[in-house]
Amino acid sequence: MNTDPKTPLLSPPSSLTRKNEGRTQKGVLIFVVSIVFLMSLAALVISLHSHNIQPLLSIIQRPLTIEIDLRSLPDSSSLPLQPRGIAEGVSAKSNPYLWQIGSYNWTNAMLSWQRTAFHFQPQKNWMNDPNGPLLYKGWYHLFYQYNPDSALFANITWGHAVSRDLIHWFYLPIAMLRDSWYDINGVWSGSATLLPDGKIVMLYTGSTHQNVQVQNLAYPANLSDPLLIHWVKYADNPLLEPPPGIGPKDFRDPTTAWIGPDGKWRIAIGSKVNQTGLSLVYKTQDFIHYELNDQYMHEVPGTGMWECVDFYPVSVNGSDGLDTSANGPDVKHVLKSSLDDTRGDHYAIGTYFNENDTWVPDNPDEDVGIGLKLDYGRFYASKSFYDQDKKRRVLWGWINESDSETADLKKGWASLQSIPRTVVFDNKTRAHLLQWPVEEIESLRLNSYEFEEVLVKPGSVLPLDIGPATQLDIFVEFEIEYLVSKETEKKENVGCGNGAFDRSSLGPFGILALADDQLSELTPIYFHLSSTTTSLTSSFCVDETRSSKAPDVSKLVFGSEVPVVSDERLSMRILVDHSVIESFAQGGRTVISSRVYPTKAIYEAARLFVFNNATDINIKASLKIWQLNSAFIRPFPFDKKL
């Protein structure tokens, strides 16, 4: 922890060259991996129209101990010492454990299938956090952390893309390179602020030549250019350095600015003191000179480093989004932090006091980092912006790979952005946000299929005859029929259990996505009820554990409780796009993003099923499913007029 009021290392060096960012490690790895093989489901070719039902088997074998041949391991010279990103002073950007597994024999066809059709991702190489989104002169702008040289995290610059509709994208030239002493080790995350006079300021974190995190200013070279292609870094950067008591690597990711009643602008910056995560607030009138507030905006002990802080208002009585500076009696404020320690995006809803720029959660038991998450799966470093044309708040998040770096290098790319989501206050629970895919995604819909009140009995799986199931938009509602008296039904709080094959009286039940006909690979998205009372609570979960036969893939069970109010049916929406699945329960009250890498359930072999693995309930599933077209994501055609 740096407590010197004058942080050293901030004067420009006399000479500067880029250093080699590679890592090496020599050694030999010998290890034993224990794998629990879960064998399921014999022949399940079932006619949906006749509703013939086969039992859902769940045979669990004893763990097998397998010795891995050293020849299957990656070259130890390329094995990272620790997750990429840690040494650079940001969150982990790789999973070294997967190096120990040995690379699966991925074919080019398998790897090609993994690339998404309507999620934003660069043409090639590495991408992580979304940055500085805004709408300007009819174009949506997305900036993103980008390595132009490799599919691994390193050499972070700012990529740039534009869209008319948030779905179809054009790549633009790199917006900012790491070419100055104050950002030579990384152009980290930042945010755009659109000022009332039409000017744009972009504040971002740079990592200096000695890895001190500082705040910098950039602005468009030409405001008459709707594409904002060229950006200028302020000549007297950096503007802010870590204040006394804040470590040199614990000061990053400025928010979009908001203006207070005194006419001064505010920004929040994530940090920590020991293990207390916190948000600093600075005031400015010109975005060049800043004053640090005496109080933190908010702090939560035990949550560790806060990065990618987001702070914005939501209307408690309407569905429109609000400008970042909005406040008043019908407004609540959302404080979100990406926690370095948990790799999750945590949020809370509360009250902002503009007289001293502090924020207090409505429910201290669900404070930032100890309560709700924006997404309970593979989703991080999210960033929102206000769409002034459609009066909505739109949110993006980074969805990382969960395969090995060996596979990423072979396919030549890594990571993607979530489908942009609208964010509104949940007027039913009055304690949650609702996230939902932007309406523009519906422009990709092709053929639709409807299934009404499909009866699925305990221990059953039914196929849904829709053809290939690689690009889908799925809506499902479930009705529950109890087969035993509610008075005699035991109360359960199973949660997600150990996955979809962990049976109880009230679950799980849901959808099997990206499954092959033999169900040797499948990804269940499911509910598991916790109560049979009118104040129903269910867990909403995604089980990746059988999603792929490949061993060099992280396969987890994700989920959380989702409240179900009295007038609601259990419902989910699922977007399937090759290797990414985004799932939304109860109108977006709980959301889970997952990455899956099947070896068999790809192309024409990918199928969709509905299942019920509960023991004491029937379910009736009503579904509407669309096949989705591919979006175009390509370089901007500068030789054409759009």
Report the catalytic residues: 129
Burial of 6 per CB tally in 10 Å (0-12, 13-18, 19+): exposed
Contact status, residue 380 vs residue 400, Cβ threshold 8 Å: yes
* DSSP collapsed to 3 states, 527-549: EEECCCCCCCEEEEEEECCCCCC
From residue 95, how far is each of 15, 81, 217, 344 by CA, in Å? 35, 11, 33, 15
Q: Quick one: which of 528, 532, 531 has its CA closest to 557?
A: 528
Distance of CA 262 to the CA centre of its chain: 36
For residue 432, give both structure tokens.
Answer: 């949650």
From residue 226, how far is each of 138, 396, 461 by CA, in Å? 8, 21, 52
Give residue 498's identity as a one-letter amino acid code: N
Give residue 435's identity as a one-letter amino acid code: Q
Q: Quick one: which of 133, 228, 233 has its CA closest to 176?
A: 233
Residue 449: HSE in the Cβ half-sphere, 13 Å Cα cutoff: 16
Task: Determine which helix (DSSP H) or strand (DSSP E) holds 408, and give its type and residue range.
Answer: helix 405-411
Q: Quick one: which of 129, 588, 137, 134 has its CA closest to 323?
A: 134
Q: Quick one: which of 160, 564, 555 has its CA closest to 377?
A: 555
Q: How many Cβ atoms are within 10 Å of 616's Cβ, its own excluded?
A: 16
Q: Quick one: which of 498, 503, 602 has its CA closest to 548?
A: 602
End-to-end CA distance of the chain: 52
Q: Cα–Cα distance between 386 and 135 in angstroms, integer?
A: 8
Q: Cα–Cα distance between 427 and 317 in angstroms, integer?
A: 7
